[in-house]
């Protein structure tokens, strides 16, 4: 077993039983990300660092025509994930497997090489080689697909005492907000000709990012990507204004 796997197993062996109930109060922005995914019909969606499969299950309910895959390094978290997927009767559409985000090969795990949507929710802040994990995630986005990330921000627009306290408390759980995330994403996405945007949410508590890939032949790729992309994939419910502006921004 890898060091990352045994570290995460130790962390989550007991916590996994109260994980979903406790995390809803502070892993903010996950539901907005799910609303934004809007995979195409029969599309494929991969979550890297899927934990208990909380997000995969909600997404599978929201998008009944898509297929969902999840990867996590922790066998303990995956045991809970599998139990929940079975309890929901989603085992035909939601498959999870053990893998390390930095070098995951979904072709080996699932027989699927690239995905219409890839997302990472509050996992990069727990992965020491997070740049490699981000690089790998971008490699797994299919032509005209997208990568979505939500994670802790830098807390800068919140009171200083709060940001300091949060960082100390998160450290206890081996969580480090990736303050250089935006630069890294822009560089990695740019090298692939992908367009990316990062938005700070909840006064800097969280970041929400999207990177969008164009297709190999963009003959039908819209001239006006802002409206065109939304036609191709009407990402967001009108009520999710932050999500909508994020998508407009991703095309500027």
Question: What does the binding site for ligand SAM look like in residue numbers (CB under 6 A)?
Answer: 4, 8, 23, 27, 30, 49-51, 54-55, 72-74, 77, 100-102, 121-123, 126-127
Nearer to ligand SAM, 53 or 225 (CB): 53
Smallest separation (angstroms) from ligand SAM to the CB of 120: 7
How many Å apart are CA 142 and CA 147, to the nearest integer? 10
* C-beta closer to ligand SAM: residue 35 or 248: 35
- Least CB distance to ligand SAM at residue 220 (A): 34
Q: Which is nearer to ligand SAM, 56 or 199 (CB)?
A: 56
Helix (H, G, I), strand (E, B) or coil at 37: helix
Q: Which residue is at the shortest CB distance from ligand SAM? A: 51
CA 67 to chain centre: 16
Q: Which CB atom, from 136 or from 197, has the smaller least distance to ligand SAM?
A: 136
> What's the closest the beta carbon of residue 225 comes to ligand SAM, in angstroms?
29
- Cβ 182 vs Cβ 238: under 8 Å: no
Residue 192 · residue 185 · CB < 8 Å: no
Residue 7 Cβ vs ligand SAM, minimum distance, rounded to whole Å: 8
How, if at all, do strands 206-212 and 141-152 pair? antiparallel
CB of 127 to ligand SAM, least distance (A): 4
Q: Which is nearer to ligand SAM, 73 or 250 (CB)?
A: 73
Phi, psi of 38 (to 5 degrees): 40, 60
Q: Are 99 and 28 in contact (CB under 8 A)?
A: no
CB 119 within 8 A of CB 43: no
């Amino acid at each position: 077993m890898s060091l990352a796997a045994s570290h995460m197993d130790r962390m989550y062996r007991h916590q996994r039983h109260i994980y979903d109930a406790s995390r809803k109060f502070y892993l903010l922005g996950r539901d907005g990300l799910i609303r934004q995914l809007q995979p195409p019909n029969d599309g494929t969606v991969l979550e890297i660092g899927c934990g208990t499969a909380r997000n995969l299950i909600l997404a599978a309910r929201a998008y009944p025509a898509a297929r969902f895959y999840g990867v996590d390094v922790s066998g303990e978290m995956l045991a809970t994930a599998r139990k929940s997927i079975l309890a929901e009767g989603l085992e035909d559409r939601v498959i999870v497997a053990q893998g390390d985000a930095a070098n995951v090969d979904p072709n080996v795990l699932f027989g699927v090489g690239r995905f219409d949507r890839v997302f990472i929710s509050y996992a990069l802040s727990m992965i020491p080689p997070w740049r490699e994990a981000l690089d790998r995630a971008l490699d797994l986005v299919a032509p005209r697909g997208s990568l979505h990330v939500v994670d802790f921000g830098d807390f800068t627009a919140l009171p200083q005492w709060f940001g300091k306290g949060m960082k100390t408390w998160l450290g206890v759980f081996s969580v480090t907000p990736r303050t250089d995330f935006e630069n890294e994403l822009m560089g990695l996405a740019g090298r692939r000709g992908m367009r990316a945007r990062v938005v700070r949410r909840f006064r800097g508590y969280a970041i929400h990012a999207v990177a969008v890939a164009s297709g190999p032949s963009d003959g039908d790729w819209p001239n006006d990507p802002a409206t065109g992309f939304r036609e191709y994939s009407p990402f967001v419910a009108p009520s999710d204004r932050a999500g909508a502006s994020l998508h407009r921004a991703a095309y500027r």
